[in-house]
Chain A
Amino acid sequence: MKYFDRVNFGRCISVALATFFFSTHLYAAKTLVYCSESSPSHFNPQLTDDGASFNANSSIIHNQLVEIPPGETELVSGLATSWKVSKDGLKYTFKLRKNVKFQATTYFKPTRNFNADDVLFTFNRQRLKSHPYHMVGGGIYEYFDSMAMGELIKDIVKVDDYTVQFVLSRPEAPFLANLAMDFASILSAEYGEMLLKAKTPEKLDMFPVGTGPFVFKRYVKDSTIRYEAHPNYFRGKSPLDRLVFVITPDANVRTQKLKTGECHIITEPAPADLPAIEKHPQLQVIQKTGLNVGYLAMNVERPPFDKVLVRRAVNHALNRKAYIDAVFLGHATVAKNPMPPGIWGFHDAIKDYDYKPKKAKALLKEAGFPNGFATELWALPVSRPYNPNGKKMAEMMQADLAKVGIKTKIVTYDWPTYIAKLKAGEHTMLQIGWSADSMDPESFLGLLLSCAAIPAGMNTARWCHQPYDRLVRKAKLVTDKKKRTEYYLKAQEIFHQEAPWVALAHSVIFRAMSKKVVGFKVDQLGRDLFYGVDLH
C-alpha cells in the first residue's frame, strides 16, 4: 500500500524536509473535491435508483454499452462500438470494444480484458433467478424490474468473445436508450467469480470494480468517498489524479465550504446562496434547464387517496407558484404533466389544475369529506434539483392543505430510510421527483406510472390504471415516433384526469464551483460526471 511507503519514507528524512516534500507532492497530484449531498446506498448501480448513489458509482466507476456524454442528449458508443437491430426489432447485436481494461484495486487485480462474459454477468444477475448473485442484496432490481426488462429480454447470446446478441420477446422502442441507463453498467464477471470463490459475494455491491475513469479507493460512511484516476481507462487517463466526495448534506454548509476552498465543486447550491456565489471573485455558477419533475405522489392504496375527487382536490389546494417563489427562488416552472417539456411528446394543451382552495373544498365535500381529514405528508430529506428543500415545501403544503381542512403531519427520515420505506409503500402523500435517464417519454410515463413499476417501488403513487397502462405498453411496442407521440399524449390526458400526483415543478439545475475548475458540464439528466474535468 502506498501509505506504508510514505510512512517509512517520512520517518527516514527530517520532518522539515518531509513537510516540504509532501506539501509540494500534494499540489503535484491533482485532487478535485466534490461536495455531494448524501451517502450512496450501495456501490452497485443495479441496486440503487437515486442520483446521489449513481453519481458515486455508475457515473464514475463504470461504463455502459451505449452512453450519453455529459451535457448531451444523444446516444454514443460506450463499451459497444457498433450495434445492429434486426428488422422485426427483436434482435440487438452489439460489437464490443476490444482492449478495455478493468480497474485494478487493492481487492481485485484483473487478469483479462473486458469481453462478452462481463455483459452476460451484468444482465443475468438481474434477469435470472437462478444466477448465483441474483439474491445477493435482496433480489430486487428497481430499474430492471420497473421496466419489465426481465420479461422483455428473452435471451442474451454470446456470439463470440466480442459479440453479444440480446433477443427480445417483443419490440421495444426505447430499448437501446435504456441500455445507457445506470443499471446497465457493466460489472466484471472475473471479479464476481473471485468473490464467489471467497464466499463473500456481498462485497460485489460494496467494493466496486468497473471499466470507468475512476477507481474506487475508500468510503468512510457519511463522510468521504475517495477515487483515483484509472490509469488504463480506454478513453485515456483523466486529467484529475484523485477525486474526493465529501458528503455534506446541508446546502448552506456546502456553500460555506466552497467559499473557504474546502470544496471545488458543490452540488445543488441553495437557491438563496446563488447571488452571493455569483458575486464572489473566485467562484462561478453554471446552470442548465433540467429534464426533471418534482411531484407529490398520493398513495392510491391508502384511503382516502383511492378517491379521484380527493386527489383532484389536493391538486387544487396547493399553491405551487408560491413554492417556486419561496423554495426555488423562481428558478423553476410550475409542472402540469408528469414529464418535462424538454422531452418529446409533452402535452402542451392540457389545462393545469389551478390554485382554487374553494374548489378543493367543494371536491372534498363531494368525495364525502366535508370536514377534511388527517393524513401524513412525507417531506423529501435531501435537496434534489426537482426540490431543493423538501421540508420547507412541506411546511407550505401543510399550511395550504390546512386551509381546505386536510390536517397533515410532516414525516421524514434520512435518505436511504426514506427510499426503503417508500418502496415498501408505507407512505401516504410523498414528495419525490425524477430526472430523466434518457430522452424517451418512457423514462417518465412508463418507469414511474406503469403497473409493473409498483412492485419495484418506482411507481410511488402505486397507481395501476389499466387504460393508461395499455397505452404506455403499446407506445413501447411501436417504433414509429408519430404513433408513439399519439399514445403518450393520450396517456398524459388520463394522468391529468386521474391525478395520482400533484406535478410540482421543472427546475433549473445549478452547480457552483471554483473558477479553477474547467471542463465541468451541467448535465440535463442530473448526473455529475468528472471525466474530462481539470483543475487549473
Chain B
Amino acid sequence: MFAYTLRRLTILLITFIGVTIVAFSLIRLVPGDPVLLLLGERGASPEAYAAMRANLGLDRPLLLQYLQFLWNVFHGDLGISIVSKRPVIEEFLSRYPATLELGFTALLLATCIGIPLGIVAAVKRNTIFDYSFMGVSLVGYSMPIFWWGLILILLFSVTLGWTPVSGRISALYDIEAVTGFMLIDTWLSGEGRAAFFNAFRHLILPAIALGTIPLAVIARMTRSSMLEVLGEDYIRTAKAKGLSNLAVIIIHALRNALIPVVTVIGLMVGTIITGAILTETIFAWPGIGRWIVHSVTSLDYPVIQGGVVLIATVMITVNLLVDVAYMVSNPRLRSQGR
C-alpha cells in the first residue's frame, strides 16, 4: 500500500512538472514579445519593461529561466495579472471557493439522485422504467450543457420566475467573504436566513446544469454495477436463504456495487471542472471557470499560465486521492496498478 502510494506520488510529481513545462512554454509559444505579453502594451514603460525582462531572466539560458519559474511556482508566486494587477494566486484563491461550492453541490445532487435511480433501474430491469431510464440518462449524458443552462434559465427564471437569472447572491446583500462559500458566509454575515435562501436559490440552477452529466454517468454506472453484483453467486445464495429482496439489495448488493460508483464519482471531478467553465459563463458565476475564459479574451497571459498550473494541480491531487481510495477499497487491484 505504502509502496503504491509512493509510486503514485512520484508519478504525480513528474506530471506536475510536466504541467509546469506546458505552462512555462505557453507564453513563449505565443507569437510576440513575452515581456509585452506579461506587462500588457499599456503598462510597458521602459523601466517596467527592463524590470520584467530581468525578472524573467530572458537573457539567461532557457533551462535557468524554467528553473526560476518552477522555483516561483513552488513558492506560490504565479505572477501578476495584467488586467487586475493582483497576484494570480490571490485571484485564484478568491474565486476557487465559488467553483468548489458549485461543483460540490452539483456532485452531491448527481450522487443523491443518481444512485437511487440506478438501483431502481437495475432491480426493475427490462421494465418500462428501466428502458425510459436508460433513454433519459443517455440524453442527459449527451447534453450540451451550455444549451441546457440556457433552457433552464428560459424555463425556471424567465418563464416561471422561480429562480434568479445569474450571479451568486442578490446585489442587495453585501456579504463579506469569510470562507468564500456563500452558503456559509450568509450565515456568518448576520443577514440571516433570507440571505442564505437567496444564495441557495442562485445556486440551484447552475448546480442542476452542471450536475446533469455526472448524474447520468453515476446513475448508469450504478445500474450496471448493480446488475453485475445481482448476478453474482452470493446474492443468489442470499436470496435462496430466504432473505427479502430489499434486504438483499441493501445488505449485500449495494455495498459491493458502490465501489466502482465511488471511483466514477471521483473521476467526475474533471467533468465538473470542464463543465464549470461553461456553466459559470452562462450563469455569471464568479468562479475559476469564468476567470480563465475571461483571461483568454482579455489576453491576460499570466492568469492563463497560472490558472493552468493551479487547475491541473487540483485535478492531479483529486485523481491521486481517487486512485488511493480505490486501492484501499479494492485490494485485489493493488498488484496491477494503473
Contacts and interface: CB of A to CB of B under 8 A. Distances in A.
Nearest to A220: B286
Interface of B is mostly: loop
Interface stretch (A19-27, A159-167, A503-511): A19-27
A15 B192 contact: yes
A226 B174 contact: yes
B83 A421 contact: no
Interface in A337-381: none
A416 B158 CA distance: 31
Interface stretch (A4-12, A100-108, A121-129, A390-398): A4-12
Interface in A202-230: 202, 218, 220-224, 226
B171 A246 contact: yes
Contact of A262 (B40, B85, B170, B294): B170
Given A222-B286, A413-B298, A262 B165 contact: yes
B172 A253 contact: no
Contacts of B174: 218, 226, 244
Contacts of A220: 286
A477 interface: no
B192 A420 contact: no
Given A262-B171, A416-B83, A19 B194 contact: yes
A9 B189 CA distance: 10
A10 B299 contact: no
Interface residues of B, number: 36
A389 interface: no
Contacts of A278: none
A518 interface: no
A244 B193 CA distance: 22
Interface stretch (B41-49, B118-126, B247-255, B263-271): B41-49
Contacts of A420: 40-42
Contacts of A263: 171
Contacts of A221: 83-84
Given A222-B286, A253-B284, A416-B298, A33 B171 contact: yes
A15 B299 CA distance: 46
A260 B172 CA distance: 14
A224 B41 contact: no
A184 B254 CA distance: 72
Contacts of A23: 192, 194
B286 A256 contact: no
B158 A7 contact: no
Interface string A406-436: 0000000110110011011000000000000
A22 B188 contact: no
Interface string A449-467: 0000000000000000000
A189 B234 CA distance: 84
Interface in A233-290: 244, 246, 248, 253, 256-257, 259-260, 262-263
Which size class do A's interface residues fall under?
35 or more
Contacts of B43: 138
A255 to B, nearest CB: 9
A140 B190 CA distance: 45
Nearest to A13: B190
Interface string B225-251: 000000000000000000000000000
Interface string B286-321: 100010001001110000000000000000000000
Contacts of B79: none
Contact of A135 (B45, B165, B194, B286): B45
Interface string B149-174: 00001000110010011110011111
A139 interface: yes
B193 A19 contact: yes
Interface string A156-192: 0000000000000000000000000000000000000
Nearest to B193: A19
Contacts of A421: 41
16 contacts: A6-B191, A10-B191, A22-B191, A22-B194, A33-B172, A221-B84, A223-B167, A246-B171, A248-B284, A256-B157, A259-B161, A260-B158, A262-B170, A417-B298, A423-B42, A424-B42
Interface of A: 3, 6-7, 9-11, 15, 18-23, 26, 31, 33, 135, 138-140, 202, 218, 220-224, 226, 244, 246, 248, 253, 256-257, 259-260, 262-263, 413-414, 416-417, 420-421, 423-424
